[in-house]
Structure 1
Amino acid sequence: MTGSAVFGGSTSISLRPARRLSYGGRLGGDPAITAMLWGHGAGAPVGRTRVHGLRKGGGSSVSDIKESLDAVLRRRREHLPVVDEQMERWTRIRQLARELRDATRSAGAAGPQGPAHAALDSLDTEAIERAVQDCLDVLAGVRSRVGRNTVNIGVSGRARNGKSTVLQSLSGLDDQQIPSGRGQPVTAVRSRIYHSATDRGALLTMHTERSFLREVIAPYHAELGLDPAPGDLSAFALYDYPPPADAAGKADQPRLAPMLARVREAQEALGTYRHCLTGEVRTVDLSDIREWVAYPEGGAAPPVKRPYLAVRDAAITCAFPIDEVTALGLVDMPGLGELVPEAEAHHLDGLRNDVDFVIVVKRPTDTNAMWAEEDARALQLIASVCTVADVRDFTMILVNTGMCLPENIRALEDDLTQRLNGNEEHRGYWVVLEDGADRDVVRDRVLRPVLEHLATALPRMDEAVIADAIAVCRERTDAIATELAAWTAVLRTLAVPTSAEQTINRAERLREEVAASLQAWVDTLKARAADDFDDTEFLERVAEVHDDVRSWALDGFGEGAEAWRERALNRLRVDRASLPFASTELNRVRVEMARRFAAVDDVLTQRREDYWAGLVDALGSKLALLVRDASHDADVVRPQGYLQALARVLHDAYDPCPVLAGTLDSALDVRLDYHTRVLPHLRRALGVLLPEPDDPAGADGPTTLLAVPRTAEGAELLLERITQLARQAAYDAQAVLAREPATAAQALFAYGEQFEDSFVRSEQSEVEFRRLVGQFQDRMWPSDGAGAQAVTVQVRRVRGLVAELRRLIDDVDPRHPAAEGSRR
């Protein structure tokens, strides 16, 4: 059997509680496992009789006991690698289970509710996590057991029954190290005492400020209803605790008032231990250990020092008074029944993690000579942690007879024999009657019989613990495999597109959206190019420019009629002819009129800007996100700058989209200005202002009109005739410009139609849209983590986690049926 098989596999789907090994029976596990673990069969438990505390059938030598217990410890450590391997595996499974829970919740929170959400909501991640935690808990218990280098015996019991006295007798220590006394309880800190022939001292693990507040003070607040508990030491120091008399109502005051007194004592003494809350491990001489583990003696002068409050754990090392003792540890528990919050929880923690056997001390005094409810509760606490071994195999009741009246001793013995054990000598609790203060008696009649018993019983109990861990892990493994199979079946019903499919779908939707938007935009361009469409703004601008040119001509071409006539007369006299001046003036008027009519260019430029703005809107919001990072550039705000930036993005992408980018470049080459579109037609209208035709001999020209007398009357006539020609040219130019809106609209419609055709339907358009989405979809769908697409992403994540969990669960035991099913 391999190491993995010891703690893995599955034989049942039920989640039963851990089995209890009844005293007097055989281990309910596989004998082969027993033989593998210990090298021998599971022997029958040892029977016991009570003869003044001596166990019948004893007599093993000290050396034999030591050799047997040392062998137990060696065999325990052989299991460590297997346990560690399994804990590592289950820790990984727990991590994946938590990731599965988070992924499922994320999918449930993403996008609108749909079939995927309903399917995921039907899956129970908590069942898997609980099963995994069960395995980790049971394995942690096994590791705590097999990882120890000592056999540990706990000494427990109610306060004032001589528990500390018994510990002194077992360990050889005295009141300075293990305090005992009369009246109030004295043990304040759980201590562990280890045998060493050479070392003598104590290691104290101190609380941190945080652990002190969480583990010591917070339980008081919870019990007293004083929430919230202080979050730091300053808040604790200033907390206004009520007086004990006000702790609670009448019914609870007897229980809660002492607790309130304890927490007030801790507050008042804070200055005496605050500096110790460092979390460090400090070494203390045994002569100084008392104040660190015991309550202060009564009558101490204030301020009372309470350094024990800063101690989280105490480990004492000394030489025990027994020859050739094995690696032995004693665990000193605070007394049961103390009014300290969670004291019994700490007691149980000690039993689970540190103890192989428990000696429960009971002292028959005048008021304590009967087996009481508190004593029964002590055994119940012990039984609650002995989940696989009978508590009677795990426990001794030591009746501490020292300085007790014989009648009280007999009364307690009769009570234990007749009522607790029911006169079942071989099946009841192991009861020993001895003086706990007599070290020789405790050594020979308590400790040695216990060690002799453990030499035989520990292999049996260890085997039971390990077999139970195997069974629990197998059952939880099967339950998890069943749950994951159900998950797999549900997830198979969810059609989740692959990443490539998602990219293709997005590219197709984007192309469709852009095509629809561009077509709507082109339809508006087409409507403007219709015969019945009037560009009122452009026509008004043409009329405005025409009026300006006409007024300029009527005003003596900008210099006044009188000044013009005077200048004309002077030139006529100088040239002794009218034609040179008239030709020069016609040329000047023609050039100036062409310049002035260029004022309509602002409307044409606006038409081009409107065209680009409409194109930007038609491209849609998704493509706009590609130039979002360039929004700090003021030029991008303008339509032309935006289109240039978008073209650069497509050109410079690591997978360029040259066709789409080139189409954008072409859209920027829209020629709709005055000089390109209007001036060629306008020049023909201004031809009436030429001084003479290109072929003067073959056509009539204005020459005869320009020949006037060289007098004032001739200058007047020349002005009239040139003005008339200018007005005619202006009229013709206005007629030419009136036709331009339809021409410009036709041009823009053609530009737009060509763009839409090239951008959406070119041979490479479909490929480049996919390429575009493939590399920019994170920018074009930036918020999709909370949208519908997130559901598909998360479902894929859930599916991957389930598959990985199934592989890990199958690997726990390769023979598991789920493994074969998954391979099939």
Structure 2
Amino acid sequence: MDRAEKIAAIRARRAENATRTEAIGTHLADVETALLTLERVRADLLDRVGEEPRERLSALGPGLRDLADKIALERAAVDRALARLRRGTLNIGVVGRARQGKSRLLQSLTGLTNREIPDGSGRFCTGVPSTIRHFDGQTYADVYYHSERSFVDEVVGLYYDRYGLGARPVSPRAFGASPLPSLPPDRASNPQAESAYGHLRAYHDAFPEYGPLIGRASPERVGDDRIRSFVAQDDPDGNPLHAFRAVRRVEISTKFHQSDLTGIAVIDLPGLGDTNLGDSRVLLAALEDDVDLVLFVRRPNPEGDGIHEVDVDLYGIAQSALPEIAMERRSFMILNHRASVDQDNLANAKSFAADLEKSPIRVAGVHITDCSKPEQVIAAFDPIVDYLLTTIDSLDETIISERVRRRGEIDQEVRLLIEQSSFVHQFAQPGDMSKLVFQELFRQTYENLAGALEDLVGEFRAERDAPETKLGEAVAAVLARARIDDGIPAADQIARRRNVEGSNIKAFSGLMDEARSHLSRQFLELDESLNETVTHMWARLATALRDPGELGHLSAQEGRAFLADLSGQIGQVRLHGPSEIRYALDIVLNFGLSYRGFFQHRIRPCLDGMSADNPETVRPDGDSSPKDVREYLDIAYQEALYRCEEALSGLLSEPNSAVFAIVEEFRDRVLRSRRTAEEWDALYWRHRSDVWSGEFDALAAETVHLQMWNEAIERLNTML
């Protein structure tokens, strides 16, 4: 199996693992929703119960909120794992402090130059992270810009928070237009703070040059000649560039020296070692979400060097991004060997490699390589890729196993919470009087609801065979417009078309197709009136449920939005099986009328005569004049329009018939189906204190919340 086949197989296995991991995320989301419901009910109960249960409910609060926070964090970890598994490439992140040879290594590996991957000495050239993937074609890049929110949150806002500059700017425009706050006196003499403030000042001073790019639609595709202008801090002549300040990331596609790296990508991260606050954040985010294997690049000083604190710190950042996998399983070290006439760092590179074994830094392998020489870089990169292909399944399984383990821990904490909540059952029994009051109120309301639905069915039945007024008006308007605007060109334009096509027959055929398409397009506008018919039905049905059915308290919405809210609040109203009421509501919510689904298949046969291939179509011959050709087109158009008018005139009542059928079906589902009365009973019982607030006392209100608590606990039990 060659590399390409191995990479394809790994991607297939990742897709399967993504499905497994997605199920974990779905479970956690369901548990989180149930816990948030439980917390809401607990907060409501505090003012409705006696002193002893209130104290015990209060004691549950911190643990419940803490568990919900843990689940939120774990869901974020699952999302990151899913992003990793769903990626189209296996990514190797190239990490290093500035001026260590990282950009030279990437140039040697990919065949790109400093036009696309900036390098240099004395400055921090790379301004944004760049993902570079092997692509057998012309080099290009997709540029992703900061949104207004991400620019504030991830770039300038960091400086305001870290150095006490006051409230963050509300938008990039506000940042650029307002004077820059001064450093507080207690920070002004701090060299690091002054250096960081200088970076912020550079963002502020250059804002007019890059500000218009923030929020631009992404990605923007650019050619290789423009890539550097979006990723570099200066051009090859040393002149400053500022577009990178508005760029979040760049994805470059180019042809690597090695043709078997399809599916492999390398990520060029901004060099660390500066006081630009965004660098560490960018590095950490990339290592968490985008990188499968880390490649550290270090150039030992020829005059003497060793492992410094900054090296250990950089290694620690990388380890913290994915702590469940040891760095020695997912990282390599490239020691950049540079030699000149008077200096050669080879000896210090070898010494550095030996010192690694005695340091906290542990990697899977070390290569001493001249990063400026493609043949050496490729020789070092090949075994690194082979290692990745060999170990990636194990690394993925480690990540997934950690997510499975954390799910198990969370489920165990949920079980403990359920045990601690068992005392609520002691005071969760409804009072007898409360039940008697409910039974009488429910009987009256159910009768009113049933009567309203029956009346509504009768009203729609009476309208069933009548033409739909709005549709009739819309059809008349379309036909009138179609008579005026036939889309057929004038004779002189037809003459030019004949000259281009070479004959009357060819010109006639094309013009006939265009006229037919023009006429067909006119009728698509009937969708609006059909939608009005359905919207009117939703409004009348919602009114019956909201007013006679007294369910208006469940939603402040109208029409379809009210029906959707009601469907979402049905809850568990059957001991076994799904709710018939919710099923009926969903049928109504998903009902729609459209021209394409209702009329189009009946209109299209009326257009058959507008085809040059139709044997009944009168066609011009070689001697026909442009005026004759236009007359033939007009005859076919008018005949087709007449047939459309005839067809539509017999269909105007059909929308009313369809609406009647769906309303009658709804009535049958919610009133005539087996045991739906029991569903209504359960629904109204749950919401009794809201539906009939004036008739229920505090005990009834307390009971409904306790019942909701029990249901939330039962949902949690079911999930486990």
TM-score (norm 2): 0.60
Question: For the residues of structure 2 that align with 1:83 and 1:107, how far apart are their CA atoms?
Answer: 36
SS at match of 2:137: coil
SS at match of 2:376: helix
Q: Which residue in the other structure is 2:630 paired with?
A: none
Q: Which residue in the other structure is 1:478 paired with?
A: 412
Rg larger in structure: 1
Q: 5 Å matches for 1:381-392?
A: 381-392=317-328
Q: Which residue in the other structure is 2:199 paired with?
A: 262
Question: For the residues of structure 2 that align with 1:457 and 1:807, how far apart are their CA atoms?
Answer: 38
Q: Which residue in the other structure is 2:208 paired with?
A: 271
Q: Does 1:460 align with 2:425?
A: no
- Structure 1 residues 424 and 305 mapped into 2: Cα distance closer, same or farther (>3 Å)? closer
Deviations 1:771-807 (A, max 9, x none): xx9999758745989x665443322222211211221
Question: Identity of paired residues, percent?
Answer: 23
The answer for unaligned runs of 5 or more in structure 1 is: 1-62, 509-772, 810-824
2:163 aligned to 224, 232, 235, which one? 224
C-alpha contact (below 8 Å) 1:186/1:294 kept by paired residues: yes
Q: Which residue in the other structure is 1:145 paired with?
A: 84
Q: Which residue in the other structure is 1:421 paired with?
A: 357
Q: Which residue in the other structure is 2:136 paired with?
A: 197
1:351 aligned to 259, 279, 287, which one? 287
How many residues matched?
Answer: 473
C-alpha contact (below 8 Å) 2:145/2:249 kept by paired residues: yes
Structure 1 position 266, deviation (Å): 1.2
Deviations 1:29-56 (A, max 9, x none): xxxxxxxxxxxxxxxxxxxxxxxxxxxx
C-alpha contact (below 8 Å) 2:335/2:368 kept by paired residues: yes
The answer for unaligned runs of 5 or more in structure 2 is: 441-684
Q: Does 1:98 align with 2:36?
A: yes
Structure 1 position 439, deviation (Å): 1.0
C-alpha contact (below 8 Å) 1:370/1:412 kept by paired residues: no
Q: Does 1:68 align with 2:1?
A: no
Question: For the residues of structure 1 that align with 2:77 and 2:688, how far apart are their CA atoms?
Answer: 50
Q: Does 1:291 align with 2:225?
A: no
Structure 1 position 472, deviation (Å): 2.1
1:369 aligned to 283, 300, 305, which one? 305
Structure 1 position 409, deviation (Å): 3.1
Question: For the residues of structure 1 that align with 2:338 and 2:4, how far apart are their CA atoms?
Answer: 29
Q: Which residue in the other structure is 2:190 paired with?
A: 253
Point out the more displaced range, 187-196 or 91-100.
91-100
C-alpha contact (below 8 Å) 1:503/1:774 kept by paired residues: no
For 2:366, the aligned partner's letter is: V
Q: Which residue in the other structure is 1:690 paired with?
A: none
Q: Which residue in the other structure is 1:314 paired with?
A: 250
Question: For the residues of structure 1 that align with 2:39 and 2:717, how far apart are their CA atoms?
Answer: 15
- Structure 1 residues 464 and 305 mapped into 2: Cα distance closer, same or farther (>3 Å)? closer
1:793 aligned to 700, 704, 707, which one? 704
Question: For the residues of structure 1 that align with 2:6 and 2:692, how far apart are their CA atoms?
Answer: 74
Structure 1 position 96, deviation (Å): 2.0
Q: Which residue in the other structure is 1:808 paired with?
A: 719
Question: For the residues of structure 1 that align with 2:225 and 2:314, how far apart are their CA atoms?
Answer: 32
For 1:804, the aligned partner's letter is: R
Question: For the residues of structure 1 that align with 2:177 and 2:352, how far apart are their CA atoms?
Answer: 51
Question: For the residues of structure 1 that align with 2:148 and 2:686, how far apart are their CA atoms?
Answer: 54
SS at match of 2:2: helix
Q: Which residue in the other structure is 1:233 paired with?
A: 172
Structure 1 position 224, deviation (Å): 1.6
Q: Which residue in the other structure is 2:274 paired with?
A: 338
Question: For the residues of structure 1 that align with 2:184 and 2:83, how far apart are their CA atoms?
Answer: 40
- Structure 1 residues 93 and 422 mapped into 2: Cα distance closer, same or farther (>3 Å)? same
Question: For the residues of structure 1 that align with 2:393 and 2:200, how far apart are their CA atoms?
Answer: 44
TM-score (norm 1): 0.53
C-alpha contact (below 8 Å) 2:301/2:345 kept by paired residues: yes
2:19 aligned to 81, 87, 109, which one? 81
1:434 aligned to 369, 383, 386, which one? 369
Q: Does 1:502 align with 2:438?
A: no
Question: For the residues of structure 2 that align with 1:400 and 1:262, how far apart are their CA atoms?
Answer: 29
SS at match of 1:226: coil
Structure 1 position 424, deviation (Å): 12
C-alpha contact (below 8 Å) 2:34/2:712 kept by paired residues: yes
Question: For the residues of structure 1 that align with 2:259 and 2:296, how far apart are their CA atoms?
Answer: 24
Question: For the residues of structure 2 that align with 1:230 and 1:782, how far apart are their CA atoms?
Answer: 49
C-alpha contact (below 8 Å) 1:386/1:394 kept by paired residues: no
Larger relative contact order (Cα-Cα within 8 Å, sequence gap ≥ 6): 1
Q: Which residue in the other structure is 2:53 paired with?
A: 116
Q: Which residue in the other structure is 1:450 paired with?
A: 384
- Structure 1 residues 503 and 355 mapped into 2: Cα distance closer, same or farther (>3 Å)? same
Q: Which residue in the other structure is 1:491 paired with?
A: 424
C-alpha contact (below 8 Å) 1:421/1:428 kept by paired residues: no
Point out the more displaced range, 133-142 or 169-178.
133-142
Q: Does 1:157 align with 2:90?
A: no
Question: For the residues of structure 1 that align with 2:363 and 2:285, how far apart are their CA atoms?
Answer: 26
2:152 aligned to 209, 213, 233, which one? 213
Q: Does 1:411 align with 2:343?
A: no
For 1:436, the aligned partner's letter is: C
For 1:805, the aligned partner's letter is: L
Give me the CA root mean square deviation. Answer: 3.3
C-alpha contact (below 8 Å) 2:295/2:334 kept by paired residues: yes
Structure 1 position 392, deviation (Å): 1.2
Structure 1 position 156, deviation (Å): 0.4
- Structure 1 residues 250 and 783 mapped into 2: Cα distance closer, same or farther (>3 Å)? farther
- Structure 1 residues 185 and 778 mapped into 2: Cα distance closer, same or farther (>3 Å)? closer
Question: For the residues of structure 2 that align with 1:345 and 1:137, how far apart are their CA atoms?
Answer: 17
Point out the more displaced range, 164-173 or 63-72.
63-72
Deviations 1:159-194 (A, max 9, x none): 111111111112211111111111110111111111
- Structure 1 residues 467 and 210 mapped into 2: Cα distance closer, same or farther (>3 Å)? closer
Question: For the residues of structure 1 that align with 2:109 and 2:54, how far apart are their CA atoms?
Answer: 64
Structure 1 position 207, deviation (Å): 1.5
C-alpha contact (below 8 Å) 1:65/1:451 kept by paired residues: no
